[in-house]
Amino acid sequence: MHTQLPSSTLRNGQSFTGGLRVGRSPAAGDVVGALVCVAATIAAGVAAFIVSFGTSVCNESDTSQELVQLRLGYAVTGGVLTLFPTFFAVFAAKFRFVWMPWAVLAGIAALTTIVFVADAEVSAWCMF
Residue spans per domain, the chain: 26-118
DSSP per residue, the chain: -PPPPPTTB-TTSPBP-TTPPTT--HHHHHHHHHHHHHHHHHHHHHHHHHHHHHT--SS-S--HHHHHHHHHHHHHHHHHHHHHHHHHHHHHHHTTS--HHHHHHHHHHHHHHHHHHHT---------
pLDDT score at 18: 46
pLDDT score at 54: 87
pLDDT score at 19: 45
pLDDT score at 25: 72
pLDDT score at 20: 42
Dump pLDDT digits (tens) for 52-82. Answer: 988 888 877 888 898 999 999 999 999 999 9
pLDDT < 70: residue spans in the chain: 1-24, 127-128
pLDDT score at 63: 85
Quote the pTM value.
Answer: 0.73
